[in-house]
């Protein structure tokens, strides 16, 4: 079996086991530009692998992703008898440290959600109106949704009788029910009946948050709107420019603020972490760890919890 055939077989195998594997498939197919796809897997050399891993830019975490995908492929190829060895190098340079997420303060969130600021940012906008934009932001922070999850929601996915959202076929091909709080439920109840799409007919398959013509929101459109809003709200990040607040950081902030609130309430945080992981749509706790940045407020609450435990309070 050729390298190209084995790669395509591996992609089908990964997807049959529940992985979307879109990025991995693209990387493996891109690797064929560095190796002969019509040759066998054992014909691939370490030199070819290193050329693929190096790419044309500076060292970045993308190299680690490429190495991880190739390692998975060669484990599969060897286990199936399509290869007898792995051409991957025995050692790899350490990836640059991951830039920590920006955790918005409560005051910054109030400025981001302030309707007057949102309206100013959308003045003259052709497609994305202010009310829709603000509703999207509240969804991203209020329930910690991924951008793709929020923009894929349809009217049928919103159950205001039970205050539950249905998130369908997400990152790991899994669907989940996400409870929403009364404040967000009220926002959605006021938003859904609005004739915001130029009089277009709506049914249960219509997107919950959409452009004025009813089409799905594009990430480029929303990102540009968010950058404008962030400047108007006076949120600029760190002075050195290394930590620019992102739209996705609303999801990080939801996770950190949830954890901080549990510490304050004296809740069993270790028991609740799997609940948070499920709520965010992660397959395991490893995925949730990325979101739990140690902010000064979170550190203070953790220290207070430890101090009470060290003082003999066994209920913490």
For this structure, is 251 an active site residue?
yes
Question: Is 146 assigned a catalytic role?
Answer: yes
Q: In the annotation, is 171 catalytic? A: yes
Q: What's the rounded Cα separation, in Å, for the pair 183 and 193?
A: 17
Catalytic residue, chosen from 15, 171, 174, 308, is 171
Residue count (the chain) = 316
Write a three-state SS string for the chain. Answer: CEHHHHHHHHHHHHHHCCCCCHHHHHHHHHHCCCCCCCCEHHHCCHHHHHHHHHCCCCCCHHHHHHHHHHHHHHHHHHHCCCCCCCCCCCCCCCCCCCCCCCCCCHHHHHHHHCHHHHHHHCCCCCCCCHHHHHHHHHHHHHCCCCHHHHHHCEHHHEECCCCEEEECCCCCCCCEEEECCHHHHHHHHHHCCCCCCCCCCCCCCCECCECCCCCECCHHHHHHHHHHHHHHCCCCCCCCCCCCCCCCHHHHHHHHHHHHHHHHHCCCHHHHHHHHHHHHCCCCHHHHHCCCCCCHHHHHHHHHHHHHHHCCCCCC
- Catalytic residue (choose from 146, 174, 176, 246): 146
Residue 236 annotated as catalytic: no
Query: What residues act catalytically?
Result: 146, 171, 248, 251, 282, 291
């Amino acid at each position: 079996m050729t390298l190209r055939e084995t790669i395509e077989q591996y992609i089908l195998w990964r997807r049959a086991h529940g992985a979307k594997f879109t990025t991995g498939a693209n990387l493996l197919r891109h690797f064929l530009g560095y190796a002969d796809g019509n040759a066998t897997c054992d014909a691939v050399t370490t030199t070819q692998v290193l050329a693929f891993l190096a790419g044309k830019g500076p060292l970045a975490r993308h190299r680690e992703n490429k190495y991880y995908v190739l390692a998975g492929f060669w484990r599969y190829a060897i286990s199936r008898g399509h290869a007898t060895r792995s051409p991957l190098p025995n050692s790899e340079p350490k990836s640059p440290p991951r830039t920590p997420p920006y955790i918005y303060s409560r005051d910054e969130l109030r400025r981001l959600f302030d309707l007057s600021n949102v309206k100013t940012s959308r003045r003259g906008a052709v497609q994305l109106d202010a009310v829709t934009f603000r509703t999207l932001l509240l969804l991203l922070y209020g329930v910690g949704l991924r951008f793709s999850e929020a923009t894929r929601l349809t009217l049928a996915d919103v159950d205001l009788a039970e205050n539950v959202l249905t998130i369908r076929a997400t990152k790991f091909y899994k669907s989940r029910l996400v409870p929403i709080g009364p404040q967000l439920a009220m926002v959605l109840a006021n938003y859904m009946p609005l004739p915001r799409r130029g009089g277009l007919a709506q049914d249960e398959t219509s997107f919950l948050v959409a452009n004025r013509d009813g089409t799905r929101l594009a990430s480029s459109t929303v990102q540009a709107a968010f950058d404008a809003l962030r400047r108007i709200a006076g949120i600029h990040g760190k002075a050195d420019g290394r930590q620019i607040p992102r739209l996705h950081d609303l999801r990080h902030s939801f996770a950190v603020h949830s954890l901080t609130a549990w510490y304050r309430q004296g809740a069993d945080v270790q028991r609740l972490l799997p609940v948070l992981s499920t709520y965010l749509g992660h397959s395991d706790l490893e995925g949730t760890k990325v979101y739990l940045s140690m902010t000064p407020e979170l550190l203070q609450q953790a220290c207070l919890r430890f101090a009470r435990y060290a003082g003999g309070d066994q209920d913490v």
